[in-house]
Structure 1
Amino acid sequence: MRLFPQSLRWRLSAVIAVVSAVVAVALSLLVRAEFSRVQLADARRVQDERIQLVVRDYGLTGRVALGSELDSSRVPAQLRAAVRGGKRATYLERGTDGAWIWAAAETGGRVLSLRSSYRDRDEALAQLDNVLIIGSSGVLVLGSVLGVVLGGPLSRRLRRAAVAARRVADGDADTTVGDTIGSRPRDETTELAEAVDEMALALRERLAAEQRVTADIAHELRTPVTGLVTAAELLPPSRPAELVRDRVRVLRSLVEDILEVARLDTATERAELVELSLADFVRRRVPAVSQDAEVRVLAEEQARTDPRRLERVLVNLLVNADRHGESPVTVEVDGLVVRVRDHGPGFPDELLRDGPSRFRTASSERGGGHGLGLTIALAQAKVLGARLDLANADTGGAQVTLTLPAS
């Protein structure tokens, strides 16, 4: 369960909203505390001026004025203690009957006291609380809207950059992250896009150089290998001659595979599509490659594909199963899906995780090899617009699933 939003826009909005709320609450508390302090100080000052008038009038006339009392029993004990010794003092009392502001002074050994209601000031403080609550709510809403406004463009640019980066990763050489998100405003997102484009360009140039080297080597080897094949066929019959012919055939097959990989790497290969019955195609091709393989047809369906490339994929999968797996090998046709399965040790975890890689063998348990069979099958499937999935069956063995696109 996600407790926080994953989008940058909503994260930014949440951060701005939280910061706005904290600032608004802190300022509201400061304003309220200062207003309350000023109110109380003003009330104490007014009450102190009044008690001074009362004391002066009492000294002249011997009478109490302004509603004051002499030696009242209602005077709070703290206030009574504070005025001992001829002093004056004020005191804020809160009780069940409300809030009162007191002022008292000792004169002639007697205590003159004056009490006034503090309710009007409490009401003013309550009104201020309402204003602060409304203001804080407005700041919170405004902060949230500001977060959405500020985070929206940034989030959209980052999303477009992610989409463009995925297209580049899929081999789209015409897409650049910088052009996709635009150069304005020039911020960290723009710098990141430029860095990604530079990295992608460097990787493409390096890959192209490696592909050219591979293709050049294969082309250069093709002529001498052809000469070796011809020379090997002219050798007189013998065991050494058979070994030489066998190694020359392996070398010739390797060179042809490298040339095919080099052609597929250029991404210029195009499929020549025709209508065919996938089940009949598999029934005819499998016995010619693997006589022990069993063909099972669960459902028949017409496919629109390139027979030559489809045969290349099927042959490579069967050769891989015969060479690296164990019998029985089964080929199952289910509509537009072809599954090739052996009962050997299965694919290693790193192959399932990273996919086929040229010149990397599967594992010692599955035998040797130069690792081009599955690489070519995967590349040819991509030209066909098909999907090739590698997996290990639950009951053991490797299983490759080829899914052709619907007509």
Structure 2
Amino acid sequence: MTLRLRLLLAFAFLSVVTAVAVAGAGYVRARDAIVQRAQDNAVIETTTRIEQLYPLPARPPDALALERIAGKVSGREGSALAQANGVSAGSMDSSVITPELRSLVSAGRVGWQRVPYGGGVWLVVGMQMRVSGGGSSGIEVYVLRPFTSEIQVVGELARNAWLIGGAGLVLALAMGFLAARGVLRPVRDLRMAAWRLGQGDLTARVPVRGRDELASVATTFNSTAASLEHHVGELRRMEADARRFVADVSHELRTPLAAMTAVTDVLDAETAALPGVAGQAARLVNRETQNLTRLVNDLIEVTRFDSGTAALALDDVDVAEVVSRTLRMRGFEVTATLPSGVRARLDPRRLDVIVANLVGNALRHGAPPVSVRLSVVESSLVIEVADSGPGLPEDVLPHVFARFYKADSARGRSEGSGLGLAIAWENARLHGGTLIAANRPGGGALFTLRLPLEGER
């Protein structure tokens, strides 16, 4: 449920409760007052008419006398019934007199009661007539008066109460809509600014309106965004400086490394003629120079990926031929399943780097036999490199393609720079493909390279 809907429902509920409480209480009080006044007036009027008949004749009343009494007290709109000693007279229907009212009048009290009659509500008033000494004359008089006008007034009050409640509800909904609009506009602005900030737009800000709590939140958001923009800018500057430094150092090292490589190649050719310690030193220098050359080349390649200058030189190649040449040139002893006729548009040099890094990693850190399998799945080229070693620990799998990451921190420098798999992953991404590391159910690590057959998408 949205915040706007919750606000509207809250205003609607408040208006309904208020309307019911106010209009309902007013209706009940007005209804009771109208009914009570009408009943009092009817009793007073009936009592007045009866008092006009005093003094009563001394002889016992007969049917004619009761008829006269009933005619005097009935009035223009009502009817009356007078009875004494089992004799009744008058135009009133005696069936409307309830036993409760008869009992009350027989006890000498004035009673009244609303009863349904003729499709409406009528009022029956009953009392005894008294003789001059205050005693009972034995005559009971009942008057039936219409209560329709009072019921109509009460009904009109009820309709007005409903109309007032409905108008209050409509007004409350309108006020709720305006209030929700005013409250949600800063929230909407804040949401949009947060979304832009999450998309990398560090200049996103929220307009500050007023001095309420939402304005305070907007001010805090703007301060946080400004601080974040400053810190991210500093981090980006430092990262750019670090990348530039690595690139500059790598390029500066290439010239002396080229000279060192030439010298170590000469030393390597003469190591057999050198005495024991000198020969070992020459071989060590040669190996470390090669490792350093490989590290510098890897660093230069990484800086190209980071700067966005790495590009593909796409060509339509026979994938099996490229993979076979990679294995053959590096002397990798693996089991290869390379069906012929699989052609794809890709960068053969970068594919060579990927396969060489994957197979070299499997031979160094896994266990033989190592297998390389080429296949086509749907519209993708798939190359799987598997070894028979213990596999990759679960805590290593999420970081296996991270730069400079080594699962065994005790490994020496000569075992790799920690950039090979990272470069393989970047080359796969550059092709629009994926490189995934996993463990085989039977044991051993499995690296799966998946590239689109038609080159970069």
Q: CA–CA distance in 2 between the matches of 1:132 and 1:251?
A: 89
Aligned residues of 1:32 and 1:125 also touching (Cα < 8 A): no
> Paired residue for 2:61?
none
The alignment's TM-score, normalised by the length of structure 1, stands at 0.68
> Paired residue for 1:30?
21
Q: CA–CA distance in 1 between the matches of 2:175 and 2:407?
A: 57
Shift in CA distance, 308/330, structure 1 to aligned 2, threshold 3 Å: closer
Identity of aligned residues (%): 21
Q: Note the C-alpha offset of 1:370.
A: 4.2
Q: Note the C-alpha offset of 1:185.
A: 8.0
For 1:332, give the aligned amino acid. Answer: L
RMSD: 5.1
Query: Are 2:360 and 1:360 aligned?
Result: no
Q: Note the C-alpha offset of 1:129.
A: 7.8
Q: CA–CA distance in 2 between the matches of 1:55 and 1:249?
A: 130
Q: CA–CA distance in 2 between the matches of 1:298 and 1:20?
A: 75
Shift in CA distance, 339/138, structure 1 to aligned 2, threshold 3 Å: farther
Q: Note the C-alpha offset of 1:261.
A: 1.7
> Paired residue for 2:57?
none
Match of 1:223 among 253, 257, 263: 253
Q: Note the 1:141-152 alignment, pairs <5 A.
A: none
Match of 2:31 among 20, 39, 46: 39
Q: CA–CA distance in 2 between the matches of 1:123 and 1:29?
A: 16
Q: Note the C-alpha offset of 1:24.
A: 4.1
> Paired residue for 1:324?
365
Q: CA–CA distance in 2 between the matches of 1:89 and 1:373?
A: 108
What are the Cα deviations for residues 100-146 of structure 1, in whole angstroms up to 9, with x where unaligned? Answer: 77888999789988773575467547746875796688679879987
Match of 1:302 among 313, 322, 344: 344
Q: Note the C-alpha offset of 1:267.
A: 2.1
Q: Note the C-alpha offset of 1:158.
A: 4.0
For 1:265, give the aligned amino acid. Answer: D
> Paired residue for 1:401?
449
Shift in CA distance, 280/42, structure 1 to aligned 2, threshold 3 Å: farther
3-state DSSP of counterpart to 1:238: helix
Q: Higher mean Cα deviation, 254-263 or 113-122?
A: 113-122
Shift in CA distance, 371/40, structure 1 to aligned 2, threshold 3 Å: farther
Query: Are 2:291 and 1:291 aligned?
Result: no
For 2:449, give the aligned amino acid. Answer: T
The alignment's TM-score, normalised by the length of structure 2, stands at 0.62
What are the Cα deviations for residues 299-356 of structure 1, in whole angstroms up to 9, with x where unaligned? Answer: 82431x3332332233222222323333333232315323333234444445544673
> Paired residue for 2:235?
206
> Paired residue for 2:283?
242
What are the Cα deviations for residues 361-389 of structure 1, in whole angstroms up to 9, with x where unaligned? Answer: 24679997543222222223333333333
For 1:406, give the aligned amino acid. Answer: E
Shift in CA distance, 178/15, structure 1 to aligned 2, threshold 3 Å: farther
**Any gaps of 5 or more consecutive residues in structure 2?**
55-71, 84-95, 131-135, 210-214
Q: CA–CA distance in 2 between the matches of 1:143 and 1:299?
A: 74
Q: Higher mean Cα deviation, 306-315 or 367-376?
A: 367-376
Match of 1:52 among 39, 44, 48: 44
Match of 1:165 among 198, 201, 207: 198
Query: Are 2:445 and 1:380 aligned?
Result: no
Query: Are 2:334 and 1:264 aligned?
Result: no
3-state DSSP of counterpart to 2:373: strand
Q: Higher mean Cα deviation, 138-147 or 329-338?
A: 138-147
What are the Cα deviations for residues 174-222 of structure 1, in whole angstroms up to 9, with x where unaligned? Answer: xx2646xx86687767975885576366335424423533552564475
For 1:216, give the aligned amino acid. Answer: F
Aligned residues of 1:388 and 1:402 also touching (Cα < 8 A): yes
What are the Cα deviations for residues 204-257 of structure 1, in whole angstroms up to 9, with x where unaligned? Answer: 542442353355256447539726656655474523433343334333322332
Q: How many matched pairs?
A: 382
Largest Rg, 1 or 2: 2
Shift in CA distance, 217/406, structure 1 to aligned 2, threshold 3 Å: closer
Query: Are 2:290 and 1:252 aligned?
Result: no
Aligned residues of 1:13 and 1:143 also touching (Cα < 8 A): no
Aligned residues of 2:125 and 2:143 also touching (Cα < 8 A): yes
For 1:262, give the aligned amino acid. Answer: T
3-state DSSP of counterpart to 1:271: coil
Q: CA–CA distance in 1 between the matches of 2:169 and 2:340?
A: 66
For 1:356, give the aligned amino acid. Answer: F
> Paired residue for 2:87?
none
Shift in CA distance, 230/158, structure 1 to aligned 2, threshold 3 Å: same
For 1:295, give the aligned amino acid. Answer: T
